[in-house]
Structure 1
Amino acid sequence: MDRPSRTRATDTRISIPGAAAALACVVLALLAGACGTTPAPAAGSTAASAPLAGRLDPVSSPDWEADMARFAAEDEAHAPPSEPVVFAGSSSFRMWDSLRADFPGTPVLNRGFGGSQVRDLAWHADPVAIRYRPRVVLLYAGENDIDAGRTPAQVLADTRLLVARLRTALPDTRILWVSIKPSPARFAQRPLQREANARVEAWLRDQPGTGYVDVATPMLDASGQPRSELFIADRLHMNARGYAIWRDAIAPLLR
């Protein structure tokens, strides 16, 4: 069973231009390594192609380009809010239809694209987050990575590159990582999900301006099973009661 429920956010709004510039060089070198002279493993490859130091695997699907075009069209039709709170991640964010109602008075922007993995957020960090100059970015990813056969170590490695890219471009922005949720449909993967959560949480403790949001623990019953009443018929995605748990965990960190 997951550890007792808690949310944690470290001190934020830290501006370190010199360090950010240095980090920019490092991140550019890391990302260049993924598309430069060293061939990157093909999308969908096995755990043997885990990202090495300075490596980021290709996007998991080229279909995300259509989502990026959709975001651009939405921005063209309706100007996004200034300094928003951006929710960037996979379908658990994309399907959060009550996002604005759940955070009244907060300029929220939903940039979830279903099926995405951590590396997809890293490659598409600009169109889903950086371009909006957000005051807070919430990330939800890792669940699809585990389902696709990637390891907790890969989830952490990709998360480190993702956070580094965001921090380089957005030195004063808070970055909150929402834990991988348990679900009846993927409960067999729960040990790997739990390990990925633990790895990311431990790493974030030493990263200024970041936070870990535990939504997993309150979604489990007393026996450690996912609470079935929180999910829609596919037993994977959440209903309003599930999103209420996420709202209650996130809202205090946005005040």
Structure 2
Amino acid sequence: MHLKMIFSIFTLLIALGPLGCATTSEQKPFTKHPEVNWEKCVQQIPTGPDSPTNPYPRIQDFPWMSRNEWCTRVLRILNDPVRADAKLGFMGDSITQMWPKDLGAEKFSDYKPIWMGIGGDRTQTLLWRMENGELKGLSLETLVLLIGTNNLSAGDSPEEVTKGVNLTIDQIRKYQPQTRIILMAIFPREQSPADPLRIKVRQTNQLLSASAKSWKVDFLDIGPGLVEKDGTISKKIMGDFVHLTPTGYVIWADAVTTALRKQSRG
């Protein structure tokens, strides 16, 4: 197995923590939420295509996260005790899931943040999560959205990903109309700036920037701060050239802090 792939799997397994173990029927967690329960999640039969704009649950097992584990994370978010008081939300995939808890507490404790990231998720799984109650019952002032890199690595085009993000914003507005949205540019990935995936990220971000203007949401691109002068990515920022290291998360946290201050003044 390629060293890079091994490192990526290892990084995600670390992020999964105790949930890296299989969940048995005796360990069914968090079944009290009215929108979705354990059985509904694990037995869900999706309808329509597995495409960026169609709400679609996780139906396959991966080496780094089974379908049962994905449902455990969905239900953990739905039953997070901070929901009642959260004023700031972070929504996305593994990059959001892996936020260092101490850094989040240090930077955003006044906002009582809720972290809504699940490894491997794409726009369609995020749409399913929202359709099944993830944003209901919240009263967020600001939501930070980072999604799309897994769509690109799965083969979706920049145009398809942008449509998925647009629909995601539309659904956020539906469930949290009072929320100010910070749309993150998809982070650069792969070590070389000439990598085909890096090029697709740049193309997608150009489209997302235009979408943010039409939606009147804040577009935050920290990509320049994550790469070297020659455009390469250092392992000090992304150990596997996809997921942030603690140093990378500080860059993101500082940028969001600045954006929140601007919002409070505006």
The TM-score, its normalising length taken from structure 2, stands at 0.69
CA distance in structure 1 between the aligned counterparts of 2:117 and 2:210, rounded to whole angstroms: 25
Q: Quote the Cα distance in structure 2 between the aligned partners of 1:60 and 1:147.
A: 18
User: Which residue of the partner structure matches residue 137 of structure 1?
Assistant: 143
Gaps of 5+ in 1: 1-34, 44-49
Cα offset, 1:81, TM superposition? 4.6
2:97 aligned partner: 94
**Structure of higher RCO (CA pairs closer than 8 Å, 6+ residues apart):** 1
> Which amino acid is 2:207 matched to?
R
CA distance, structure 1, for counterparts of residue 106 and residue 173 of structure 2: 29
Q: Tell me which amino acid in the other structure corresponds to 1:195.
A: Q
1:59 aligns with 2:37: no
Do residues 192 (structure 1) and 200 (structure 2) align? yes
Taking only aligned residues, the RMSD between alpha carbons, in angstroms, comes to 2.4
Q: Relative to structure 1, is the Cα distance of residues 147 and 119 closer, same or farther in structure 2, using a 3 angstrom cutoff?
A: same
- Matches of 2:82 and 2:210, distance apart in 1: 37
Secondary structure in structure 1 of the residue aligned to 2:219: strand
Letter in 1 for 2:116: R
Say which of 206, 215, 227 aligns to 1:220: 227
Specify the SS of the correspondent of 2:58.
Answer: coil
State percent identity of aligned pairs: 24
Give the corresponding residue for 1:40.
Answer: 48
Secondary structure at the aligned position of 1:88 is classed as: strand
- Alpha-carbon distance between aligned partners in 2 of 1:91 and 1:185, rounded to the nearest angstrom: 19
SS in structure 1 at match of 2:222 = coil
Q: CA deviation at 1:211?
A: 1.0
Q: 2:160 aligns with which of 145, 154, 158?
A: 154
In the alignment, what sits opposite 1:201? 209
> Counterparts of 1:212 and 1:84 in 2: how far apart (Å)?
19
1:157-208 CA-to-partner distances (Å, cap 9, x unmatched) read 1111111111122222111111111233686210101111110111111213
Deviation of 1:114 (Å): 0.6
Identify the residue that residue 118 of structure 1 maps to in structure 2: 123
- Relative to the length of structure 1, the TM-score reads 0.72
Aligned length: 203
- Structure 2: which 5+ runs fail to align? 1-44, 60-66, 262-266
Q: 1:166 to 1:58 in 2, by over 3 A?
A: closer
